[in-house]
Amino acid sequence: MRFRYLFLLLIVGLLVACGGGNRSIQVAADQQNVEVVSAANEESQQQEVILSESAKRLDSLGYVNIQGLDSTIEVEMIYATSDNFVGEVLYDDLTEAYLLPEAAEKLVKAHQLLKEKHPEYRFVVYDAARPMSVQKRMWEVAKKNGWSHDYVANPAKGGGLHNYGAAVDLTILDENGVPLSMGTAFDYFGKEAHTDKEQELVAEGKITEQELANRLLLRSVMKEAGFTSISSEWWHFNHCSRKVAVEKYQLIE
Ligand SMILES: [Zn+2]
């Protein structure tokens, strides 16, 4: 009787142990499932963050997200922050740089040319496709502050090449992610930022030889890839003329 009791106890003990073992296997499997599900959730959340409403709209219109073509190009949309000449956030949700497909391909080409010359350098894009709604707000602020019309395209006259996804604002980052010195800040509106009389700027001590060399490096790779520069802003490059843009492309509303 006593032995039978002990035997029963042993069986019960074994059953509990086995049951416990199965349970821990089940728990481990459940944890794994939870991990898989939460990883999937994180992924879908990330996708939601990556594609803003403006980005989805630009995607649907056929514009190309630069980082989708070359993820090594840095993008810091300056008008998505208040750290710009306007001092206000102009892009409510657009943190991605979009361009016309042909312009985006040129930019990737220019970036390759830069890396061939300086593997440690990379581009940082500050602005690209700019919807007309943003252009109107920028114009209002510029008008209010008495800024020159040379720097902000009048939306009543059809805007500028950014509004077609045909212009890009950018500079070069060094190996530490620091922008190369170009003699003025980005969006500095004055003759020190002009590109047509740079030798004079050097002679007058307004910019250094090295700063001029940095600008020439940026211009040389952009021009080799097919962009044109303008006389008033060292950071701005056009994919085509305004006339061609008006004939060939749509304004981004
Ligand atoms: Zn520009």
Structure confidence by residue, pLDDT tens digits, 141-175? 888 877 766 778 889 888 899 999 999 999 999 99
Total-model pTM: 0.79
Measured in Å, residue 50 CA sits from the centre of ligand 1 at 24
Centroid of ligand 1 to alpha carbon of 129 (angstroms) = 9
Write 46-51 long-range contacts (CB < 8 A, 24+).
50/96
Does residue 163 sit in the same domain as residue 197?
A: yes
Q: What is the pLDDT of residues 176-186, one digit of tens each?
A: 999 999 999 99
More confident: 91 or 180? 180
Tokens of 84: 């710009």
Residues 157 and 223 in one domain: yes
**To the nearest 10°, the Cα dihedral for 85, 213, 232, 152?**
-30
* Same domain for 116 and 3: no
Domain coverage including residue 31? 1-50
Whether the predicted pLDDT of 10 surpasses 50: no
Q: Give distance in angstroms: CA of 210 to centre of ligand 1.
A: 23
Length of the chain equals 253
The CA 204 to ligand 1 mean position distance, Å, reads 26
100 plus 6 within the same structural domain: no
81 and 153 share a domain?
yes
CA 97–ligand 1 middle distance (angstroms): 12
Spatial separation of the C-alpha atoms in residues 104 and 77, rounded to whole Å:
16
| Cα-to-centroid distance, 51 and ligand 1 (Å) | 23
Tokens of 185: 């800040």
Lowest mean pLDDT among 6-10, 89-93, 113-117: 6-10
User: What is the dihedral angle through the alpha carbons of 182, 69, 134, 171, rounded to the nearest 10 degrees?
Assistant: 0
Q: Are residues 31 and 57 in the same domain?
A: no
45-59, 77-91, 165-179, 230-244: segment of lowest average pLDDT:
45-59
